[in-house]
Structure 1
Amino acid sequence: MANAEERRFEVLRAIVADYVSNQEPVGSKAIVDRHNLGVSSATVRNDMAALEEDGYITQPHTSAGRIPTDKGYRLFVDRIAEVKPLSAAERRAITAFLDSGTDVDDVLRRSVRLLAQLTRQVAVIQYPMMTNSAVRHLEVVPLTPARLMLVLITDSGRVDQRTVDLGDVITEENVSRLRTVLNGALAGRRLSEAAAAVAELPEKSPGELRDNLTRVCTVLVESLVEHPEERLVLGGTANLTRNVSDFPGSLRQVLEALEEQVIVLKLLAAARNPGAITVRIGEENEDEQMRSTSVVSIGYGMDDLLLGGMGVVGPTRMDYPNTIAAVRAVANYVGQILSGR
């Protein structure tokens, strides 16, 4: 080893790997036998004593080996040099599974199911945030001679439908004119900008369209300023019950917390940039009910545009490299699909 610090990190890495795999405290002899560190048991014992003194590992009971602490997991995650990439076959399977989604709802449900299967943890994904979306198109559909349906489609694939009672008959020609005027003001604009543009339209419109446009714009502004982005899809909750001992006395609290959308949204709040992984371990979670868990989250979207957050929740005894790889891969594909690439 280059120096004592690097050697001790390799000892910590070995303890994390064995404990995640076997859920048993790890002793010095096991490290020497299973990992090619090139040092004696005595040296490993000294390194374990130093790691324990620094708070990276702990002894759960007398005569036992050592297990990582939250601080130890944090050091391990911060120094992961390489995250194991998914195989070509795994990437093709993800693409095929998600590409066959029929709409945004189906893509998100498939994503959660897939991520829960890949990580064997609880998976969660936030619906695309309307605040970061732009208008792709507005369709105006006559339902009756005096009633219209507005179908707002965003670049993130969200579809919002509203009906408008005009109070008077409108001709097909004026419906077409309304459609042209509205799309001219809306197409390509972010929702916050689009709302302001729509609010100004009636004043600028021809007199014969003004009444109809006023009614349509009143309804449309409501659609543009209401952002139902607190919607979440959750999957794989049963995975938490596979090893109840990972949550001593706290599994019920964790399950209750996952039912609270506000708490789950806070878990995803750190995911501010597409592709940037955030890992919160144990006590780093703000909510007390979640302090026996680790949360691996990421933003999904396109380029620098964040559409939403997604991630997994599991015990601190987690396979971090593989979990990070799976979360990153699924987020990448979801971002591509919802951005129409």
Structure 2
Amino acid sequence: MVNADERRFEVLRAIVADYVSDQEPVASKAIVERHNLGVSSATVRNDMASLEEDGYITQPHTSAGRIPTDKGYRMFVDRLSEIKPLSTPERRAIQNFLEGAIDLDDVLRRSVRLLAQLTHQVAVVQYPTLSRSTVRHLEIVPITPARVMLVLITDTGRVDQRMVDLGDVIDDESVARLRAMFNSTLVGYRLPEAAAKVAALPDDAPSDLRDTIIRVSTVLVESLVDHPEERLVLGGTANLTRNVADFPGSLRQVLEALEEQVVVLKLLAATQDPGLITIRIGNENEAEEMRSTSVVSMGYGTRDTLLGGIGVVGPTRMDYPGTIAAVRAVANYVGKILSAR
């Protein structure tokens, strides 16, 4: 026999499911008709009264049914015993779509577009955190006899291009020497360490290449210490405007916070463990402008290395099991794809 606490949770789960589906307050009669709880309407009404007294549900206006509160959603999420995995065709479609990307920017753009479509919410992904990226290769491409292009490639798939005016003509042999010298100094080091090594490179440079190495090093250090992890890619912002009723008086604030990105970056930056889902519901968000939203996020990367965060922003009236499954699947594929490049 189900005890009273378990029965009340089943009532709460029924209210969450119906309210997420219909966006209408849920009455006891509807719960009895739609959900096979095996108890009478009177028992459901008593359980709803207890849930309301404890702050898990509330009555939006007189003579209405009940809706979940932030506390109610939190209890529901914390007691999700399992997340229904995506089907094999869904997972195959995600993998094929993301593996078709041509570079890092394309991977991230495809990720947010896909996640927004799967969840019908706003999808966000953080660029890989540079402090954890390592240099894979530096290509030096002559553009003119006195100008070269630097192409820096990291293990996360980031490609950064910078032009350098050398101030003097340089031949192919000297370009080859530069390429070998810089790659032997940089490759395999994390970007902060690589920046320090590049800055010290002119000290021991051959006299005939010293001025050129100083010019290349100056530009390269700027590239290595740049911070694209402070960039986000967003997708599906229009999804919020389809649910204006979920943001009474606050939709504009939410859209402005998304546009400024700083608030969302802080939320994603707090995701420290690849594979661990983090959920912030309503008032659990520190930023006031985000307190009408829920944020479901997860780190992506390898088992040992966190590259960045990916997630979804939407109303608290959210399909949490479906959203969690989608975020987890996309984050895992992004991590695998970037780690393999």
Q: TM-score range by the shorter chain?
A: over 0.9
Identity percentage over the alignment? 79
Contact 1:116 1:123 in 2 (8 A): yes
> Which residue matches 1:287?
287
> Which residue matches 1:321?
321
C-alpha RMSD of matched pairs (Å): 1.5
> Which residue matches 2:60?
60
- Identify the range of structure 1 (29-38 vs 200-209) with the bigger mean alpha-carbon deviation: 200-209
Deviation digits for residues 58-82 of structure 1 (CA, Å, limit 9, x no counterpart): 1112222211000000111111111
Q: Which amino acid aligns with 1:59?
A: Q
Deviation digits for residues 24-60 of structure 1 (CA, Å, limit 9, x no counterpart): 1112222222222222222222211111111001111
Contact 1:270 1:297 in 2 (8 A): no
- Identify the range of structure 1 (13-22 vs 257-266) with the bigger mean alpha-carbon deviation: 257-266
1:1-341 to structure 2, matched below 5 A, reads: 1-340=1-340
Q: Secondary structure at the match of 1:339?
A: helix
Deviation digits for residues 241-292 of structure 1 (CA, Å, limit 9, x no counterpart): 2222111122222222221121221232222222211111111112212111
Contact 1:98 1:107 in 2 (8 A): yes
**Aligned length, in residue pairs:** 341
Contact 2:300 2:308 in 1 (8 A): yes
Q: CA deviation at 1:198?
A: 1.3
- Identify the range of structure 1 (303-312 vs 81-90) with the bigger mean alpha-carbon deviation: 303-312
Provide the rounded CA distance (Å) in 2 between the counterparts of 1:237 and 1:166: 44
Contact 2:128 2:228 in 1 (8 A): no
Deviation digits for residues 88-145 of structure 1 (CA, Å, limit 9, x no counterpart): 0000111111111122222211111111110001111122222221101000111222
Given the two structures, how large is their TM-score scaled by the length of structure 1? Answer: 0.95
Q: CA deviation at 1:339?
A: 1.8
Provide the rounded CA distance (Å) in 2 between the counterparts of 1:237 and 1:168: 49
Provide the rounded CA distance (Å) in 2 between the counterparts of 1:270 and 1:9: 30
Q: Secondary structure at the match of 1:31?
A: helix
Contact 1:111 1:334 in 2 (8 A): yes
Q: Secondary structure at the match of 1:294?
A: strand
Deviation digits for residues 208-248 of structure 1 (CA, Å, limit 9, x no counterpart): 33332222212211111122222221111111122221111
Q: CA deviation at 1:146?
A: 2.1
Provide the rounded CA distance (Å) in 2 between the counterparts of 1:252 and 1:242: 13
Contact 2:269 2:308 in 1 (8 A): no
Gaps of 5+ in 2: none
Provide the rounded CA distance (Å) in 2 between the counterparts of 1:220 and 1:176: 17
Q: Secondary structure at the match of 1:278?
A: strand
Provide the rounded CA distance (Å) in 1 between the counterparts of 2:169 and 2:59: 79
- Identify the range of structure 1 (296-305 vs 184-193) with the bigger mean alpha-carbon deviation: 296-305
Q: Secondary structure at the match of 2:234?
A: strand
